Amino acid sequence: MDTADTRAFGELSLAERSRYRESAVHGTPGFPMRIYANNFSWYVNNIIDWHWHPELEIAVVLSGRVRCSINGTEIEAGKGEGFFINSNIMHMETPVSGDEEPLMTTVCFMPEFIGDCGSDLIYRRYVRPVITDQSLKGMKLTPEAEWQERILSGVRQLMEIAERREWGYELELRNAVAGIWFTLVSNLKIDPGETIAAGAGAGEKRLKKMLTHIHENYTHEMTIDDIARSASVSKSECFRCFRNMIGRKPVEYLNEYRLQAAAELLVSTDMQITEVCFACGFNHISYFGKLFRQYYGTTPKEFRRMQTAGKK
């Protein structure tokens, strides 16, 4: 049955979280939207790491402060503020240290949730111009701007509707999302006739191919040549893409991704630490232990003990 999926991201399985790093449908094919209640403590290292998806995303910070990195640009939002992220744009969210624990409500929805992707007039006139605008990666939303406050309030309303789940709530959600979208596009006033410059976003497309290769093959042996080859670029271009887009070297990102996968296995399975090491693409247990301590500040064994104790 196709219904709105309102599970928190922390409730998803390891496989579902892995797909979220790339381009999964949020919700169901029949109802392509999902509303999240995000608590950063659910995530490995308290970070929603680099990912992208075809869905549009709007988030509202409920408490604390959150920093959203969008293609090298950082947006910091406090309680009552939020941000909009366009379709297929790479981004990550991190908590900002402070007195309050950062909490966030996020809605993700496919463009066709607003208008059909075929010859639909609504899609052609009010959706496609936004998702194809290379200059619009994302933006901060603040209650100081009246129209942006209407969007933020609309996201909070979505969560209330989803929590009530009264008869016809899917239709209420659909109408509320349409209202949010009308407010956004009527104030952005993007020209429907605007064309996209040839080659725009080439570096981002290459990086996505390389990240996807890492996500799909991190359990196997992998070299810089393998990563570069996945996007048909040279090693130097591979390094440039990683440095300019996410500020890391390819091997650094690969090791961090493997370590995050290892941390999830340590918490969610009873696998031996040696098994976790090899399952995540590391060839030597001593090297795995060294990197794990550098990244998490503790040994894999102690990490598992602390995380397991915290869930009891």
Q: Are 44 and 109 in contact (CB under 8 A)?
A: no
Q: How many CB atoms lie within 10 A of CB 70?
A: 20
Share of the chain above pLDDT 90, in %: 47
Among 29-38, 56-65, 246-255, 266-275, the minimum mean pLDDT is found in: 29-38
Amino acid type, 79? K
Condensed to tens digits (0 to 9), the pLDDT of residues 66-96 reads: 999 887 688 899 999 999 999 888 888 999 9
- Say how far apart CA 247 and CA 73 lie, in whole Å: 11
Query: Does pLDDT of 28 surpass 80?
Result: no
What three-state secondary structure class fits 54?
Answer: coil
Q: CB burial class (10 A; 0-12, 13-18, 19+) of residue 8?
A: middle
- Say how far apart CA 77 and CA 199 lie, in whole Å: 32
Q: Which residues contact 158 (CB under 8 A, 6 or more apart)?
A: 35, 107, 173, 176, 177, 180
Buried b (16+ CB within 10 A) or exposed e, 90-115: bbbbbbeeeeeebbbbbbbbbbebbb
Residue in 144, 140, 42, 36 with CA at minimum distance from that of residue 91: 140
All domains in the chain, ordered by first residue: 9-188 (2.60.120.280), 202-310 (1.10.10.60)
Condensed to tens digits (0 to 9), the pLDDT of residues 118-151 reads: 557 888 888 888 888 877 888 999 999 999 999 9
Answering whether pTM is above 0.85, one says no
Strands 56-63 and 82-85: antiparallel
User: What pLDDT shows up at residue 9?
Assistant: 40
Does residue 127 come out as left (phi exceeding 0), alpha (psi in the -120 to 50 range) or beta? alpha
User: What pLDDT shows up at residue 29?
Assistant: 67
